[in-house]
């Protein structure tokens, strides 16, 4: 199956190689596992992060002394996040001279981290950097993550809408854009079916770093070591009919439920970037390049529509059309918003989340933006596609999208 679509002048320009390009020399992710149940339920986020940071440079035999800076997307960080990230980098064999920061732009944090590093390289501030993301929703997710907000700020309606539960924003999108429960369930079932088929065919193997993890059996309380090398939220045999039996989770007469929303998950991913000239000089592999990204704001009460507006914005920056893009990785926070984004843009669903999305695979908040890049590069190799876009909606009402080129 070849996915290389049109070759417009803008696309030809994007595909052209320049020594100043910001290139990806490695991209790696952990398996994505179910929060509180899966393979990483007893693994702290800083250890998960350490594994992928080490793999990012070891995979290409890069001396870690050459890594200048690291940015880590993390939405639910323990103790403010920066210290555990620093500790993870040190544990991963990265020297004390290498700086690090954490970033929280909700579900786009991993992509925001990659963008920060790419821009630092572009500006000549650094030569090598890692854009990464990590989330242990087992450890961070839940009521304790909700802040108490000033009453004065809450007098602004849009500000107050930022506190709406994500599931309610999904219901708002479904109601505002007439997306039926049946349409959402059909989309979600396809996500599971695509992911299950991809997993069976070994299509995730190249992007996943197998990790040995301690795991406590909830029945016997026995601690054992397990090899976590596949996404454990993917289920075979999911159909629209089986999803149709699930009860709505947020409203009595609603359409959003556990089977058509992203899973609560644990995982990490890391992307190592430099300039093409540097990669060539050191004989490093070039997997692809980061072209650019953009972020937009949307009404908080329908935050899920973010990709519908972020994607046209990033395409506008590059001069690309929707047809120039060979495939899309759009985060499936909820089927409602993913369907709205695809329909609003008029993208063929066969070009979206070819190996399934977050409904089937999971959505560790800070990790997803980096995970999508590793997955996108794998898909490009499998399909022959070259130009791909990653995108996601962002809690509190935003969307982010980025353009990448694969050079498989």
Which member of 51, 257, 367, 393 is catalytic? 393
Burial of 269 (0-12, 13-18, 19+ CB in 10 A): buried
| CA-to-CA dists, residue 166 to 33, 90, 301, 331, 346, angstroms | 21, 35, 9, 14, 25
CB 21 within 8 A of CB 237: no
Residue pointed to by tokens 């070259």: 386
DSSP state letter for 231? -
User: Residue 375 CA to chain centroid, in angstroms?
Assistant: 9
The helix/strand/coil state of 266 is strand
Q: Between 181-200 and 335-345, two packed helices, what is the crossing angle to 10 degrees?
A: 90
Active site includes 393? yes
Pairing of strands 99-103, 69-73: parallel
CB 106 within 8 A of CB 366: no
Active site includes 107? yes
Active site includes 367? no
CB 1 within 8 A of CB 383: yes
Write out the two tokens for 157.
């309606």
The span from the CA of 273 to the CA of 121, in Å, is 8
CA dihedral 199, 201, 207, 212 (to 10 degrees): 60
Which member of 51, 107, 257, 367 is catalytic? 107
Length of the chain as a residue count:
408
The span from the CA of 164 to the CA of 367, in Å, is 23
**Residues with active-site annotation:** 107, 363, 393
């Amino acid at each position: 199956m070849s996915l290389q679509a049109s070759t417009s002048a803008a696309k030809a320009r994007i595909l052209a190689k320049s020594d100043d390009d910001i290139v990806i020399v490695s991209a790696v992710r952990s398996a994505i596992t179910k929060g509180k149940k899966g393979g990483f339920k007893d693994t702290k986020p800083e250890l998960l992060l350490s594994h992928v940071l080490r793999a990012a440079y070891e995979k290409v035999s890069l001396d870690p002394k050459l890594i200048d800076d690291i940015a880590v997307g993390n939405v639910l960080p323990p103790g403010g996040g920066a210290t555990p990230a620093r500790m993870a980098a040190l544990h991963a064999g990265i020297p004390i001279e290498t700086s690090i920061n954490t970033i929280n732009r909700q579900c786009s944090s991993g992509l925001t981290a990659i963008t920060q590093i790419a821009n630092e390289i572009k500006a000549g501030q650094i030569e090598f950097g890692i854009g990464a993301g990590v989330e242990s929703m087992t450890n961070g997710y839940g009521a304790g993550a909700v802040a108490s907000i000033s009453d004065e700020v809450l007098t602004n309606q849009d500000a107050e809408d930022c506190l709406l539960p994500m599931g309610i924003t999904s219901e708002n999108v479904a109601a505002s854009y007439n997306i039926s429960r049946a349409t959402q369930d059909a989309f979600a079932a396809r996500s599971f079916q695509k992911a299950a088929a991809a997993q069976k065919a070994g299509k995730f193997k190249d992007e996943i770093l197998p990790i040995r993890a301690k795991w406590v059996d909830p029945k016997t309380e026995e601690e054992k070591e397990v090899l976590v090398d596949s996404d454990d939220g993917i289920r075979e045999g999911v159909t629209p009919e089986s999803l149709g039996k699930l009860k709505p989770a947020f409203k009595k007469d609603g359409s959003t439920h556990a089977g058509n929303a992203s899973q609560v998950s644990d995982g990490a991913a890391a992307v190592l970037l430099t300039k093409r000239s540097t990669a060539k000089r050191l004989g490093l592999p070039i997997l692809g390049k980061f072209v650019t990204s953009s972020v937009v704001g949307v009404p908080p009460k329908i935050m899920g529509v973010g990709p519908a507006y972020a994607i046209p914005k990033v395409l506008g920056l590059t001069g690309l059309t929707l047809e120039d893009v060979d495939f899309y990785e759009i985060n499936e926070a909820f089927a409602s918003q993913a369907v709205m984004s695809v329909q609003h843009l008029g993208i063929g669903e066969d070009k979206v989340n070819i190996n399934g999305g977050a409904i089937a695979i999971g959505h560790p908040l800070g990790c997803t933006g980096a995970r999508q890049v590793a997955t996108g590069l794998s898909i490009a190799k499998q399909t022959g596609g070259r130009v791909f876009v990653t995108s996601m909606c962002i809690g509190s009402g935003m969307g982010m999208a980025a353009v990448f080129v694969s050079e498989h």
